[in-house]
Amino acid sequence: MSKSSRPPLLRESLEPWCAAGVTGALRVLDPPGGVVYVVDGRIAYAETPVASGVERLLTASGRLPADAWRAAVTAGRAQHRIGPELVDAGLVTQTELEALGVIALHDAAFFLFDLVVSAHFEHRVRHPVGHLRTLDLRSVCQEVDRRKRLLADAWPDAAIDTAAVLPQRRLRSQCVALTALQWEVVANADRRRSPIDLARLLGRDTFTVMLEVRRMARTGLVEPGRPGGSAAAESVATVRAKAAADVATTALPIVQSARHARPEPEPEPERDPDPPAAQAPHVPLPRRALRHEPAPRPELAGMPDTRVSEQILTRLIAGLGAL
């Protein structure tokens, strides 16, 4: 389907704003909700309720006390200086803050960029955290596509992202090696939390947790249970189901029209006129060779035949033998 025959994706809605080099925020009005911040035509930050933002990456992981974050919000929110307040207090470095901003940006973009949703652009709106590293729209889209391929290669069924994580009660091997994040996931899986819920609980980026859960499912360490009961998991499942239904509904008329269309008869190819039959070459019939009798010598012509017959010669030889 071409771009002109379907509503634009959110990534396509961002293209004209980035091309114009404006500063503002594209606010997503439909579920799951979210905001993409643009500074001078570059993507500065993105957030959505279903992905871990900078706040959760700092506080839920234990990197920063929740009270310290709230104090920075109180002091710097109005001036868009939450980040500088943390840096000035020596709680985080500017490099660490920018790295967490990029992680949160990619995490939110993964859930938002390929959605067909209503959005409204607000000019000159900035994120209250303040200055973060900005990225080109094309590079963010490439990262979103790369993450989708990684997830599909690890486990093809996306329903596992919103289903409860169930650790296997009995393993097939005697020894199992887990990464630190995999261990956190297994230790905190209570047979109700989905990968999205576990990411928010642990203060991890949602994509990494989903990827590790899919990898463990492939090796038989965990399996998907019933759909997760949290609002975030339900929101993601609902949005994905709606997107799949929209694709099927849009493709159905095209398929039906193709089925009921009467194919035009193909013109018969012009046949070349038959070439004239090749005439067989004339082969003369064989003839018997003529026996050529020796011509009579001119000197004997007209003379009587004086040759002695063979019978007379035989009798003469027999008589001579009897003498």
Q: Which 3-state string (H, E, C) describes the chain?
A: CCHHHCCCCHHHHHHHHHHHCCCEEEEECCCCCEEEEEECCEEEEEECCCCCCHHHHHHCCCCCCHHHHHHHHHHHCCCCCHHHHHHHCCCCCHHHHHHHHHHHHHHHHHHHCCCCCCEEEEECCCCCCCCCCCECHHHHHHHHHHHHHHHHHHCCCHHHHHEEEEECCCCCCCCCCCCHHHHHHHHHCCCCCCHHHHHHHHCCCHHHHHHHHHHHHHCCCEEEEEECCCHHHHHHHHHHHHHHHHHHHHHHHHHHHHHHCCCCCCCCCCCCCCCCCCCCCCCCCCCCCCCCCCCCCCCCCCCCCCCCCHHHHHHHHHHHHHC
Query: Which pair of structure tokens corresponds to residue 179?
Result: 């990464």
- For residue 174, pLDDT over 90 is answered with no
Query: CA distances (Å), 230 to each of 14, 139, 198, 233, 236, in order?
Result: 30, 32, 11, 5, 10
Best CA proximity match to 127, nearest among 109, 95, 96, 105: 105
- For residue 115, pLDDT over 60 is answered with yes
To which residue do tokens 């290669």 refer?
153
| Nearby residues of 84 by Cβ (< 8 Å), 6 or more positions away | 76, 130, 131
- For residue 241, pLDDT over 70 is answered with yes
The pLDDT of residue 242:
82
Q: Which of 103-112, 226-235, 274-283 has the highest mean pLDDT?
A: 103-112
| Nearby residues of 18 by Cβ (< 8 Å), 6 or more positions away | 38, 41, 42, 43, 137
Best CA proximity match to 42, nearest among 111, 118, 115, 102: 102
**Residue 222, beta-bridge partner list:** 167
The pLDDT of residue 173:
84
Q: What is the pLDDT of residues 265-321, one digit of tens each?
A: 555 555 555 554 455 455 554 555 545 544 544 444 454 454 555 666 566 666 555
| Phi, then psi, of 67 in degrees rounded to 5 | -65, -35
Q: What is the pLDDT of residues 214-224, one digit of tens each?
A: 999 999 999 99
What does the alpha-carbon distance between residue 134 and residue 285 come to, in Å, rounded to a whole number? 100
Best CA proximity match to 84, nearest among 168, 92, 104: 92
Average pLDDT of span 184-207: 96
Mean pLDDT of the chain: 84
* Cβ(254)–Cβ(260) below 8 Å: no
* Cβ(198)–Cβ(165) below 8 Å: yes
Amino acid at 121: F
What does the alpha-carbon distance between residue 231 and residue 216 come to, in Å, rounded to a whole number? 24
What does the alpha-carbon distance between residue 240 and residue 234 come to, in Å, rounded to a whole number? 10
